[in-house]
Amino acid sequence: MTQVVWHITMSLDGFITGPDDSMEWAFKYPGPNRLADEVMESTGAILAGRRWYDVASARYSGRQGIYGGAWEGPVFVLTHRPPEAPTDPGITFLTGGLAEAVATAGQAAGGKNLEIFGAGVAAQCLDAGLIDEIVVHLAPVLLGDGVRLYGVAGERRQVELERTDLAESGEGGLTSMRFRVTRG
């Protein structure tokens, strides 16, 4: 059965990007990372938001940069303002509602999992009860600024989780955790 998996790298102080949407801090911890590999191999489709698209296409090779090019499959971006001249045929823009987007992308996953990128779409999915699992790679750094994992304080509600897996990658590097959403 298709599971909806939010897959994210985060600083110890809870940022998923640094200042100015920078991601270089997240790329400097050497692998291999068993949990990241497991998520990639079980992913049939990816759903992201417009902010992910803007940053990824401007700086990180867009669709080709996902998992360093090691993953193939359909990528969907949910946005009310699709680009006028999309340049990447591997990306489909969805302009409808959230539940519809998750259903469309989930069907495209062909029995594998649907992976959610970024913070905005993921937080909306959590609020709507649409996320089954969260896989977080916690980087050993305090960033002090950037985009928060789970939005602005007071905007969101409490979500209970259960840690179902734990792995470390690299000497002193990432701490990788898999959680199941149990209530929220």
Binding site for a second copy (CB under 8 A): 12-15, 18-19, 25, 126, 134, 136, 138, 140-146, 148-151, 153-164, 166, 168, 172-173, 175, 177, 179, 184
Comparing CB distances to a second copy, the nearer of 108 and 147 is: 147
Comparing CB distances to a second copy, the nearer of 41 and 160 is: 160
Peptide bond into 32 cis (omega under 30): yes
Strand-pairing partners, residue 115, are 5, 46
Amino acid (one-letter) located at 42? S
Q: Residue 100 Cβ, how far from a second copy at the closest point, in Å?
A: 24
Query: Using CA atoms, how far apart are residues 140 and 26, in angstroms rounded to an integer?
Result: 10
Q: Residue 70 Cβ, how far from a second copy at the closest point, in Å?
A: 25
Comparing CB distances to a second copy, the nearer of 86 and 173 is: 173
End-to-end CA distance of the chain: 21
Element (H, E) at 116: strand 113-116
Q: Residue 98 Cβ, how far from a second copy at the closest point, in Å?
A: 18
Comparing CB distances to a second copy, the nearer of 59 and 163 is: 163
Q: Cα dist. 23→18, 89, 149, 171 in Å?
A: 6, 24, 14, 20
Query: Using CA atoms, how far apart are residues 155 and 42, in angstroms rounded to an integer?
Result: 31
On the CB side of 131, how many CA atoms lie within 13 Å of its CA?
30
Residue with structure tokens 């259960």? 162
Q: Residue 45 Cβ, how far from a second copy at the closest point, in Å?
A: 24
Comparing CB distances to a second copy, the nearer of 93 and 150 is: 150
Q: Residue 118 Cβ, how far from a second copy at the closest point, in Å?
A: 15
